[in-house]
């Protein structure tokens, strides 16, 4: 008899949702997290006063170089948040010759759901049909209608603020009232409408509560305070994370067992039943090994670690890795591409400011190759738009009255356009296991072999020209267009695609229910499942896929199929 009905590997964005849905369906569910547990009273720093932060919240250079060689470059890496990022010295990885990969990781209960940027945009049929129309990769086995009710479900529970803007490329959703755009963003919004007929600025759709529902309040969540301390953890539970929402919901059912410090080594396969029977786990602290068994297994360890677990799970039936008869496990590693930016000063508006700190930004949705494919390059890009007043820091030079006068007022309004582009699936972009190097738990370290291709470069070149055109036609001053420098793979922290969904077991790992073609009781609903990357931040799609797959798996158990 199995120890549990279900095992979920990973407690982050998708794992939390799988746990919630499985537990609410009555399944006794074990959630395994390789990192430590989180205590908000100790691990969150959102209530810490600036003068209580060590080293002005900077990590000592020698410590950063020694222990955080990669993580130190992430944009929210501070003395007060470093414990939410892994030590690269403890968790090494490698890259193939002449490549680089920026792998930013958070190993703790909640994973990177404590650290995400909270952008929540649905995919549209334009995205789900893109591979088929372009002849790139394989066709998604689902369309927007398949995910629509699940988008509705996860948005309502998580709490996404935004507008229903009536855009075909960015479907409307179940939104709370949006955060108001500031005056500089509204100025750009008006100028876009005046100067272009194919693009517009909308309020960013973010997973921050502008108001709460009774269900959210019952979980201890409160409304956003507009402090923009999100990356320090939120003691109000005002932004969506596994810790504030899905894991507490799973826990209140009485059906969840959560085990931190549990590193999954491999999935165990029974060739007689052709089913996965459980997982082999190594205790992070003691390095003791244990096996847990279950009727169904969900892998939600993030795209790279999920692929690594499958590749490590070898047997006579699967000599190249579990569920890998297609040879697609580890392949088609995708991210998003950035590296096209432009900024300018906004004339006037110096008598205005804004209340609080908006926990998001404006957004210019994709307009190239939409609705028709009319460019030389494939796919498209969008702009994240940042506006604000700078130089109000108290750091202007001076003494006495002159110092006070010079530091009394903020600087001019500025607008900053930051492009996000789609990365095409490519089987040569992949993760595999090192042949000899292992980590301190004896597990082979992953090796990333991924490059940005000509299409990604073309997208950023086009985005740079468009950004300049937007600012010139808007009449902005002091326009600065940054040199185009496409980001390295992994830089956007949206790794995807290493166990993709598809119609054909010969060319894909998962079916339309996120169920492994080769192992019917194995499900994968994290970024590994993605068949293409689209442009949109992907987390809300992971959530919808996870809720959908978990309920399907529960149905199959009830029906006696699994």
Determine contact, residues 425/532, Cβ cutoff 8 Å: yes
85 Cβ neighbours under 8 A, 6+ residues apart:
68, 71, 74, 77, 104, 105, 106, 115
- Distances in whole angstroms, Cα of residue 349 to Cα of each of 14, 346, 557: 42, 8, 61
Percent of the chain with pLDDT over 70: 99
Mark residue 156 as left, alpha or beta (left: phi above 0; alpha: psi -120 to 50; beta: remaining).
alpha
Determine contact, residues 152/144, Cβ cutoff 8 Å: no
The mean pLDDT value of the chain amounts to: 96
For the cut 80, the answer to whether the pLDDT of residue 168 exceeds it is yes
50 Cβ neighbours under 8 A, 6+ residues apart:
57
Residues 323-331, mean pLDDT to the nearest whole number = 98
Which tokens go with 451? 């490059």
User: Closest by alpha carbon to 161, among 119, 200, 208, 123?
Assistant: 208
Residues 541-550, mean pLDDT to the nearest whole number = 98
User: Closest by alpha carbon to 468, among 477, 457, 484, 479?
Assistant: 479
Give the alpha-carbon dihedral of 258, 263, 266, 267, to 10 degrees.
0
What pLDDT band is residue 121 in, cutting at 50, 70 and 90? very high
Specify the pLDDT at position 399: 81
Specify the pLDDT at position 350: 87
Q: What angle do CA 423, 85, 18 make, to 5 degrees?
A: 65
Q: Which helix H or strand E contains 550, and what residues bound it?
A: helix 539-558
Specify the pLDDT at position 290: 98
Specify the pLDDT at position 354: 79
Q: Of the ranges 151-155, 403-407, 416-420, 471-475, which one carries the lowest mean pLDDT score? A: 403-407
At 212-256, the pLDDT tens digits run 999 999 999 999 999 989 999 999 999 999 999 999 999 999 999
Percent of the chain with pLDDT over 90: 92
Q: Reply yes or no: is the peptide bond before residue 371 cis, omega within 30 of 0.
A: yes
Q: What sign does the dihedral 558-559-560-562 (CA atoms) show?
A: negative
> pTM to 2 decimals?
0.97
At 32-44, the pLDDT tens digits run 999 999 999 999 9
Mark residue 472 as left, alpha or beta (left: phi above 0; alpha: psi -120 to 50; beta: remaining).
alpha
Domain boundaries, given as residue ranges, for the chain: 165-204+336-422+453-486
Specify the pLDDT at position 453: 97
At 405-428, the pLDDT tens digits run 777 778 889 999 999 999 999 999
Residues 202-210, mean pLDDT to the nearest whole number = 98
């Amino acid at each position: 008899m199995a120890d549990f009905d279900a095992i979920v590997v990973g407690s982050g964005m998708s794992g939390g949702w799988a746990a919630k849905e499985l537990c609410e369906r009555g399944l006794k569910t074990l959630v395994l997290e390789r990192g430590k547990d989180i205590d908000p009273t100790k691990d969150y720093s959102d209530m810490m006063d600036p003068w209580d932060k060590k080293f002005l919240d900077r990590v000592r250079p020698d410590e950063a170089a020694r222990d955080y060689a990669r993580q130190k470059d992430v944009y929210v890496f501070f003395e007060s948040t470093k414990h939410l990022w892994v030590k690269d010295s403890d968790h090494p990885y490698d890259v193939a010759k002449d490549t680089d990969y920026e792998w930013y990781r958070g190993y703790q209960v909640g994973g990177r759901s404590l650290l995400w940027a909270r952008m929540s945009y649905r995919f549209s049929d334009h995205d789900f049909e893109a591979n088929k129309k372009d002849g790139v990769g394989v066709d998604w086995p689902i369309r927007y209608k398949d995910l629509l009710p699940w988008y509705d479900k996860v948005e309502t529970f998580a709490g996404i603020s935004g507008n229903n803007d009536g855009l075909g490329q960015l479907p409307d959703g179940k939104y709370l009232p949006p955060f108001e755009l500031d005056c500089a963003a509204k100025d750009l919004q008006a100028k876009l409408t005046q100067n272009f007929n194919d693009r517009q600025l909308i309020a960013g759709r973010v997973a921050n509560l502008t108001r709460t529902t009774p269900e959210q309040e019952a979980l201890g969540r409160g409304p956003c305070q507009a402090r923009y301390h999100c990356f320090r953890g939120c003691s109000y539970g005002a932004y969506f994370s596994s810790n504030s929402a899905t894991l507490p919901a799973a826990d209140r059912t009485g059906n969840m067992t959560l085990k931190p410090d549990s590193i999954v080594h491999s999935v165990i396969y029974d060739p007689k039943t052709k089913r996965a029977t459980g997982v082999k786990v190594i205790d992070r602290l003691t390095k003791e090994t244990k096996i847990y068994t279950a009727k169904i297994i969900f892998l939600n360890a993030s795209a790279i670690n999920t692929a690594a677990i499958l590749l490590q799970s070898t047997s006579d039936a699967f000599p190249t890795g579990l569920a890998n008869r297609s040879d697609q496990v580890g392949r088609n590693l995708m991210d998003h591409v950035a590296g096209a930016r432009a900024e300018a000063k906004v004339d006037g508006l110096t008598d205005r400011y804004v209340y609080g700190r908006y926990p998001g930004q404006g957004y210019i949705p994709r307009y190239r190759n939409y609705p028709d494919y009319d460019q030389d390059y494939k796919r498209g890009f969008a702009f994240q738009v940042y506006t604000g007043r700078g130089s109000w820091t108290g750091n202007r030079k001076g003494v006495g009255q002159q110092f006070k006068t010079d530091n009394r007022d903020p600087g001019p309004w500025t607008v900053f356009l930051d492009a996000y582009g789609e990365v095409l699936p490519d089987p040569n972009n992949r993760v595999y296991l090192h042949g000899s190097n292992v980590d301190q738990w004896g597990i082979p370290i992953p090796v990333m072999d991924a490059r940005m291709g000509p299409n990604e470069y073309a997208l950023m070149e086009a985005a740079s020209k468009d950004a300049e055109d937007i600012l010139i036609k808007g009449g902005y001053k002091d326009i600065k267009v940054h040199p185009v420098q496409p980001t390295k793979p992994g830089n956007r922290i949206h790794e995807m695609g290493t166990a993709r969904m598809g119609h054909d077991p010969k060319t894909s790992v998962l079916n339309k229910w996120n169920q492994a073609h080769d192992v019917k009781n194995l499900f994968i609903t994290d970024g590994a499942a993605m068949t293409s990357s689209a442009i949109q931040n992907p987390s809300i799609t992971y959530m919808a896929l996870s809720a959908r797959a978990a309920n399907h798996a529960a149905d199959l158990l009830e029906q006696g199929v699994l």
